[in-house]
Chains A and B, each alone.
Chain A
Amino acid sequence: MKAILSGNEAVARGCYESGLHIATAYPGTPSTEILENITQYPEIKAQWAPNEKVAFEVAMGACFEGARTLVAMKHVGLNVAADPFMSVSLIGAPGGLIVVTADDPGMHSSQNEQDNRTYAKFAGYPCFEPADSQESKDFIAEALRISIEYDVPVLYRMTTRICHSKGIVELGDRVDYPISGFQPDPKKFVVLPAHARVRRHWALERLHRLTEYAEITPLNTIETGSRPIGVITNGISYQYVCEIMPDVSILKLGVSYPLPMQKIQQFAQSVDQLFVIEELEPFIEDQILAAGIACQGKQFWPTTGEFTPDIVQIGFVKAGVLKETSAFVKPEEVIARPPIFCPGCPHRAVYVALNKLKATVSSDIGCYTLGALPPLSATDTCVEMGASIGVAVGMATARGSGKGIVATIGDSTFMHSGMTGLLNAVTQNAGITVVILDNSITAMTGGQHHPGTGKNLDGRSSKPVEFAKLCQSLGVDRIKVIDPYDLIQTQEVLKAEMETDTLSVVLTNRPCALYPPENRKKVLQVPFHVNTDVCIGCHACFRVSCPAISEADTKTKKGLTQSCIDPQLCTGCSVCAQVCPVQAIQRVNHE
């Protein structure tokens, strides 16, 4: 049977077919749909973890028990999980462990574009790189086989384009395996220095054996072309090379670490010119050059950004092996459509207020990062998950006062890695204001549950964290709960807290306007409209940056363009009505 699947759906299907037992993750674009799709297979126990490090630790425990296990995360998530990722190298993965890293060349929805193949080399793990949906499914079975046979975690590297592209996949049936159970062996599972020193030699010898595997695996395959030009490539770049240069010889690396250097040497000898085409870092190229084999790559194909067929083509033209066809037409410069808060988003008023109060805002990763964009322009810093509170404490320490310094962090991000930052703020007696934007969901990745929502991935109920109690027990004395649809209250509370040099936490209490979808009806209120008899065309309402508000066809008597509100989009949150100086924005049934 065949199906049309995205790379993420195909990974989930591969897990099902290869008898996977347990899967865990923290959501992060572009990896999120892997776990979401695994839930359709009840044979696999799937759970969200509060962050990638915990997810990885759960996965380790499962695989120590002999369970076939997968843990998925976006590329920067592996930084969070790097500690267990590196150290489990000396233990191994007895049950089989696949670590999916979903890299994001071009930074479609990430703060950096680090190339996580580097982590495979760092830890001494094999790196599998599927090039389409079929391989995304098929490689899972092989990665599990290798993980178990070599007692090693496998880094399974996807990229945004592989994760989110769809292709046709031939499906298979599930093969079931028993969970063998934990076999106690302290010299293996307890990495005391004395044990670890011994295991280090074992891990190096394992890498040597994996290199032999890389030489013979059919995942590293040579396709001989009619021209004496050779291309070594991996992942999505392979598809672009096939598209642009169908007549060259290709060494496609499905296992991009450790490299099959003998195979590469033979391939190099069979061609007149050798190119390496890989997105991001010269990971393969540098190793080939270090082995003394001549090749060219990054001088023709860029180190930053996502590849396209066109970028691959331009590189071949630069390299002098492809004639320039017609020049590309320059794209028309059309007005941007930057993402903005949804209508009814509970974050809107907080950033309208913070902008007005001229706070120094240390923010975090989530939808609310958009508070940095004009016209809200409220956010001063944003680095990585959970950074907001630590950065605010650092600023307060440097200034000698926390007055005017506000950390904004979402509920899911606070669960992920904000709690320790807040604990430190208490210990340091930092007089900052921490706003926890609790919209009761992980919104930016499409609405996933977390420990504060009271639900698990599989729908089971859990005991939800109570944020006020949690902050109190961490030692925060000043805790305020605000309604973020009430702009005036929001502004007054934030102003008061900013003016004191005492640590305070401000909790917002409105849910996300989009997720979960069944909540949407609860969010919707009577929409607003602009009364054109009253509107003076001052455009104050534009400053709340709502997709439902736009310029109207109508004008004031002085000839100023009035505003209008799309009743289909408006959720009736009322924030715009509160900034209107003449009360022209009224509920639709007001007349």
Chain B
Amino acid sequence: MSEIKNILLVGVGGQGVLLASELLSDAAFKSDFDVKKSEVHGMAQRGGVVSSHVRFGEKVHSPLIPQGDCDVMLAFEQAEALRWLHFMKSSGVVIVNQRVWVPPIALMKGFEYPQDPLGMVQERMQRVLKINAQQMAEDLGNPKVENTLLLGTLSTVIELPVTIWQDVIRARVPKGTDALNLRAFELGLQSVTGEK
């Protein structure tokens, strides 16, 4: 059980969480691991809670990560990192995109977006990497590459060959955007190396 790598990708519908988890599971598959990936295609098209479990190793049974066994969480949004924190191993790494997405329901009485979700995550976890992927994607000229950028960051904490990541990105992103996406991946990768 211990040799299985458990990765949880979380965010808000419309952020590209599911495509990112497709790329991750493809990369693990192409690296000759057994892989399982699971998410529920629910009612929310946009703005709903999205989470995707990816597990890889020699032999994977459950497609869902048992609570407390998650090695790495990639959170596309701050409050979503907090929502799923109970899945984390105490020694796990949480990567938090600094983006804040307040749901419309927060405009109604009795619903409040947490004050400082990133701070709360940092209080509870020892290993937290933060990244301002939205800003970096905009600097690159396309806010849509936010998810590829975050995958670059993720690639620094899980051991899959960079060349396989690049192959998978080339194969899966829309035609004509592969150079941009590869640059975004590289930027995400370097942003963390710099911080360490």
Contact = CB atoms under 8 A, between A and B. Distances in A.
Interface of A: 2, 4, 29-30, 108-109, 132, 160-161, 164-168, 236, 239-240, 242-244, 246, 308-310, 313, 326, 328-332, 334-340, 342-343, 370, 374-375, 444, 446, 514, 539, 542, 545-547, 549-551, 568-569
A514 B46 CA distance: 10
Q: Give the size category of B's interface with A.
A: 35 or more
6 contacts: A30-B40, A109-B41, A161-B64, A166-B36, A336-B105, A339-B45
A338 B105 contact: yes
A77 B60 CA distance: 32
B29 A539 contact: no
B189 to A, nearest CB: 23
A584 to B, nearest CB: 16
Given A168-B29, A326-B68, A342 B41 contact: no
B34 A335 contact: no
B104 A340 contact: yes
B105 A332 contact: no
A539 B44 CA distance: 24
B16 interface: no
B64 to A, nearest CB: 5
Contact of A4 (B26, B42, B64): B26
Contacts of B114: 334-335
B111 A335 contact: yes
A166 B108 contact: no
B79 interface: yes
B38 A161 contact: yes
Nearest to A327: B68
A332 B108 contact: no
Contacts of A313: 66
A239 B86 contact: no
A109 B42 contact: yes
A337 B63 contact: no
A132 B42 CA distance: 20
Contact of B43 (A109, A332, A568): A109
Nearest to A544: B104
B112 A335 contact: yes
B12 interface: yes
B143 interface: yes
B83 A331 contact: yes
B38 A164 contact: yes
Interface in B62-89: 62-68, 79-80, 82-86
Contacts of B25: 4, 166
Given A329-B86, A374-B108, A108 B42 contact: yes
Given A310-B67, A337-B103, A444 B86 contact: no
B47 interface: yes
Dominant SS among interface residues on chain A: loop
Given A335-B103, A542-B104, A242 B79 contact: no
A547 B104 contact: yes
Contacts of A4: 25-26, 29, 35, 37
A133 to B, nearest CB: 9
A549 B42 CA distance: 22
Given A109-B43, A166-B38, A338-B48, 16 more contacts: A108-B40, A161-B64, A164-B39, A168-B35, A243-B66, A246-B1, A313-B66, A332-B82, A335-B79, A335-B105, A339-B48, A340-B47, A342-B45, A444-B43, A542-B104, A550-B104
Contact of B67 (A132, A328, A334): A328
A167 B63 contact: yes
Contacts of A244: 66
A166 B41 CA distance: 13
A166 B113 CA distance: 33
A161 B104 CA distance: 29
Given A4-B25, A309-B64, A549-B104, A30 B41 contact: yes
Contacts of A542: 104, 107-108
Nearest to B47: A547
Given A329-B68, A375-B108, A547-B104, A164 B44 contact: no
B81 to A, nearest CB: 9
Contacts of B80: 334
B104 A546 contact: yes
A111 B113 CA distance: 29
B145 to A, nearest CB: 14
Contacts of B120: 332
A556 to B, nearest CB: 16
Interface in B173-191: none
